[in-house]
């Protein structure tokens, strides 16, 4: 049996179980039953249970709003609900990672003209994004590992991790070793230095850790990582890092002109060095202050 047919079979089998349970007096929308359904082996059934949870919170609300209302309705279940959603995100991170790896392998074998191997990709992506939105809205340190697993998904995750402060610092620094995740990890470190978060990493040990990894990142092979690194160093404001930013302003190698030409465009100047330009902007701002 194909993977898709098996998935569909499991989905409808679970739907049948839900109907039978209701007929036997088990309400599929009761808190206990919803929590059980969120751990179902089939992602479509987990998705359905997740959205049922949100509907119980309130119709027409965004995931954080619906979840907040749900926790108010069942305060005795609030902690269990939070932990179940955090665990659910950990599961979906693994599923997403497996799917991405499968797609990359298929692409390697069949080339860019291959059909998408997952017809349900759009539906699943929306569900995954809404789950991330819900979990980040909890601002719960217990979601640290789950959010680390979704660190590449964007600002909702990076800003939440940054707000955790020191408890997230070492795990985020560990992500710098991952070629695919080091940019997102650098973003988190820079966001930790924003005014709303900086007091949470203001102790000398945390500050020195951030400074050291950002200084190392100024020589990263990725221009995006280098740019984020100088942004963070400028936020630190230590005078001994000025030479690093000055070096980036003069010598950063990334020239975007060829990339612009490759896309059929025309550079607005002969040499277009975005990292150098940003470093110069930061130096001018520094001198004004």
Q: How far is CA 181 from CA 168, 198, 260, 281, in A?
A: 15, 22, 25, 27
Cα 285 to Cα 193: distance, rounded to the nearest angstrom: 17
Average per-residue pLDDT for the chain: 87
Cα 10 to Cα 17: distance, rounded to the nearest angstrom: 10
What pLDDT does 22 receive? Answer: 43
Query: 80: Cβ–Cβ under 8 A, 6 or more apart, which residues?
Result: 35
pLDDT digits (tens, 9 = 90+) for 149-197: 999 999 999 999 999 999 999 999 999 999 999 999 999 999 999 999 9
Pick from 32-41, 118-127, 201-210: least confident: 32-41
Could you tell me which of 271, 176, 172 has the C-alpha nearest to residue 222?
176
**Does residue 18 or residue 218 have the better pLDDT?**
218
What pLDDT does 21 receive? Answer: 44
Cα 232 to Cα 210: distance, rounded to the nearest angstrom: 9
| 201: exposed, middle or buried (Cβ count in 10 Å: 0-12, 13-18, 19+) | buried
pLDDT digits (tens, 9 = 90+) for 224-257: 999 999 999 999 989 999 999 999 999 988 878 7
What pLDDT does 11 receive? Answer: 46
279 pLDDT higher than 60: yes
- The first and second tokens of residue 186, run together, are 């650098």
pLDDT digits (tens, 9 = 90+) for 124-152: 999 999 999 999 999 999 999 999 999 99
Question: For residues 220 and 181, is the Cβ–Cβ distance under 8 A?
Answer: no
Interhelix angle 182-192/155-164, nearest 10 degrees: 50
DSSP 237: -
Look up tokens 């609030």; give the residue: 78
Could you tell me which of 39, 44, 37, 34 has the C-alpha nearest to residue 4?
44
Cα 44 to Cα 11: distance, rounded to the nearest angstrom: 7
What pLDDT does 162 receive? Answer: 98
């Amino acid at each position: 049996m194909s993977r898709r047919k098996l998935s569909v079979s499991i989905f409808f089998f679970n739907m049948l179980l839900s109907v039978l349970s209701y007929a036997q007096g088990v309400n599929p929308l009761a808190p206990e039953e919803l929590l059980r359904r969120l751990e179902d082996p089939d992602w479509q059934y987990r998705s359905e249970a997740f959205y049922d949870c949100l509907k119980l919170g309130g119709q027409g609300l965004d995931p954080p709003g619906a979840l907040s209302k749900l926790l108010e309705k069942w305060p005795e279940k609030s902690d269990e609900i939070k932990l179940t959603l955090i665990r659910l995100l950990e599961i979906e991170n693994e599923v997403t990672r497996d799917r991405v790896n499968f797609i990359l392998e298929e692409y390697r074998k069949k080339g860019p003209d291959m059909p998408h191997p997952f017809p349900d990709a759009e539906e699943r992506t929306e569900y995954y994004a809404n789950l991330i939105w819900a979990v980040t809205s909890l601002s719960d340190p217990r979601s640290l590992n789950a959010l680390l697993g979704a660190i590449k998904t964007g600002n909702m995750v990076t800003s939440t991790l940054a707000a955790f402060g020191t408890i997230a610092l070492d795990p985020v620094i560990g992500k710098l070793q991952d070629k695919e995740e080091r940019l997102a990890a650098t973003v988190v470190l820079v966001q930790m230095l924003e005014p709303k978060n900086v007091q949470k990493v203001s102790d000398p040990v945390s500050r020195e850790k951030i400074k050291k990894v950002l200084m190392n990142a100024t020589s990263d092979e990725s221009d995006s990582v280098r740019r984020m690194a100088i942004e963070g160093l400028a936020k630190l404001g230590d005078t001994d890092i000025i030479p690093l930013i000055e070096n980036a302003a003069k010598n950063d190698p990334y020239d975007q002109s060829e990339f612009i030409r490759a896309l059929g465009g025309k550079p607005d100047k002969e040499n277009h060095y975005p990292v150098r330009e940003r470093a110069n902007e930061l130096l001018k701002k520094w001198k004004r202050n």
